Structure 1
Amino acid sequence: MIKHSIRVTPNRKGIWFIVNRGRIWLSAKRELPQGTYNELILSAEPEQFCLIGQLGDQDAYLLVNHDHIANEDEWVTPRELLTVSEETFQLAARAVQVALFLQTHRFCGQCGSAMSLVSWELAALCNKCGHRCYPRIAPCVLVGIVKDNQILLARSNRHRAGFFSILAGFVESGETLEQAAVREVKEEVGIDIANLRYVGSQPWPFPHSLMTGFIADYVAGDIVCQPHEIEEAYWFSFDQLPETPLEQTLSGQIIAQLKQISGNKKAT
């Protein structure tokens, strides 16, 4: 639960997610700062403050502070906290997404008047025209595709050479998740798939995405990479995989799951 109707007090104690431009500040020990508010060393008062959840037995707070930069090396993306714990990453992703919402909804998109935060839910309200906004969540599909004990992996133009992952794409207006998966695969590599099975989901600060994962079976078609989007794509044997995402990511979990299924089939 995210609460805005609380005050910053010197003795308020918890774990602090200090956000600046989509990044999170770590202490000299490369840890999230903990303790009371007055123990934090801030160059300016935070522009926004709210409770975003709990981590262990501690309350977790978001501080939006655009002036709190002393050393660029002290700031990390939420992705860099994946290896700490799933709970830490989820709160980091939430902190960054809420900070972006607060930053981009200071004024009404309908009449231009100043917006104010609603105290009982995470929403911004225009007191002049009544327009209410909620944080945007953009659903994205991830699809692991198998064919004859091989997996289809691709490299987008955003990834470095040698790094491959499963296919991904955003859901368009009026689509189901399954329709989006079929369309994205067809558009990006030109093949047809079927028998989609849901795997799981993961919040992702890209900057406000919700990843939904599927595995699917190859049906027909040859690989034809979408220009300006997919640099290269191949069928890989599970015993000769290239560099792929960390297993803490949903895409890495899907690859690991398909690899395990392939290994079980070979064993039988």
Structure 2
Amino acid sequence: MIEQNITVTHDTRAIWLILNEDQLLSPNSPELLLNCQWQELKFAHAYKEQIVKIGEYQGLSCFLIDMGKENIDPQDLIQTNLRALLNECSDQFFGIAARAWQVALFMRTHRFCGQCGCSMQQIDWEMAVQCSRCQHRCYPRISPCIIVAIRHQGSILLAQGKSQQARDMHSILAGFVESGETLEQAVHREVMEEVGVKIKNLRYISSQPWPFPHALMMGYLADYDSGDIKVDGKEILRADWFDINQLPNIPPKLSIAGQLIEKTIIEIQHEST
């Protein structure tokens, strides 16, 4: 449940998710959680009326404070990139942080009505904004996206796009669902468009919210059917079959990509024994 118009007092203790641009403020220590009383966050007191409750973690409320692009330098706090949280925190806390970023992005990008251009106002009882003139109401955007791990004998298909090239990382294929498509149709289309092969035995595994910027990833496993790998050269720069015992740098297991790769490896190992 996402709540707005929260009342906090001087001694309210909570986990504070304070965003500055696309960075999360956290303690300058191995512990990433900003767990403290409201009175300790004097630099954020000007934002008291904009606090949003995101959820709970370890028995404490989690509150979002979005400071936008304000130039701040709070003592004993560092700025942590949200992607860096993948390697540093639990999947439960990452889910909370992901929700905070998506809500903040929604509020930043819906200050004015897309229908008539007038200012938008926050709704008290739900996470939404409404136009003060035409009453057009908007909710946080969620973009459905498929992601699929494809195996062939003892190998898995891994690809590298432009964003992954700089990090020297390979991952599985993913793409946004288009209007009028089922999730399964989107999987087959994306695989054919990006690497030019056909797949079979498609099976749904799980889903994961992904805040870069507002995707809901639906994860699948599939088997290779036919065709030779031919990358599109736009979204995918290179792709190949990799033996599960000789994998390149891949996403961490907290991400759904890492989880699907791990599940594929386990299935291949199980069938080979």
Measured against the shorter chain, the TM-score band is over 0.9
Contact kept in structure 2, 1:203 and 1:210, CA below 8 Å: yes
1:247 aligned partner, one-letter code: K
State the Cα distance separating 1:53 from its structure 2 match: 0.3
Contact kept in structure 1, 2:5 and 2:51, CA below 8 Å: no
Report whether the alignment pairs 1:237 with 2:243. Answer: yes
Give the structure 2 partner of residue 107 of structure 1.
Answer: 112
Q: Return the match for 1:62 from 41, 61, 64.
A: 64
Report whether the alignment pairs 1:18 with 2:24. Answer: no
40-49 or 255-264: bigger deviation: 40-49
Q: Distance in 2 between matches of 1:84 and 1:147?
A: 33
Report whether the alignment pairs 1:156 with 2:161. Answer: yes
Q: Return the match for 1:248 from 254, 258, 264.
A: 254
Report whether the alignment pairs 1:144 with 2:149. Answer: yes
Aligned-partner SS, 1:45: helix
Aligned-partner SS, 2:43: coil
Give the structure 2 partner of residue 34 of structure 1.
Answer: 35
State the Cα distance separating 1:69 from its structure 2 match: 3.0
Unpaired stretches in structure 1, ≥5 consecutive residues: none
State the Cα distance separating 1:41 from its structure 2 match: 4.1
Aligned-partner SS, 1:74: strand
Once the two structures are superposed, the pairs formed by residues 102-141 of structure 1 within 5 Å of their partners are 102-141=107-146
Once the two structures are superposed, the pairs formed by residues 55-94 of structure 1 within 5 Å of their partners are 55-66=57-68, 67=70, 69-70=72-73, 74-82=78-86, 83-94=88-99
Unpaired stretches in structure 2, ≥5 consecutive residues: none
Aligned-partner SS, 1:26: strand
- 1:218-244 deviation line (CA, Å, top 9, x unaligned): 111100001222111001111111111
Contact kept in structure 2, 1:25 and 1:32, CA below 8 Å: no
State the Cα distance separating 1:166 from its structure 2 match: 0.4
- 1:29-79 deviation line (CA, Å, top 9, x unaligned): 2522112111114166227311010001000000011225328x9212222
State the Cα distance separating 1:7 from its structure 2 match: 3.0
State the Cα distance separating 1:119 from its structure 2 match: 1.1
Q: Return the match for 1:170 from 171, 176, 196.
A: 176
Q: Distance in 2 between matches of 1:49 and 1:252?
A: 33
* TM-score normalised by the chain length of structure 2: 0.92
Contact kept in structure 1, 2:145 and 2:175, CA below 8 Å: yes
Q: Distance in 1 between matches of 2:179 and 2:244?
A: 35
Q: Distance in 2 between matches of 1:259 and 1:233?
A: 18
Q: CA RMSD in A?
A: 1.7
Q: Distance in 2 between matches of 1:254 and 1:240?
A: 17
**Structure 1: 4+ residue segments shifted above 3 A:** none
Q: Distance in 1 between matches of 2:177 and 2:186?
A: 5
Q: Distance in 2 between matches of 1:107 and 1:87?
A: 33
Aligned-partner SS, 2:164: coil
* TM-score normalised by the chain length of structure 1: 0.94
Aligned-partner SS, 1:226: coil
1:48 aligned partner, one-letter code: Q
State the Cα distance separating 1:24 from its structure 2 match: 0.7
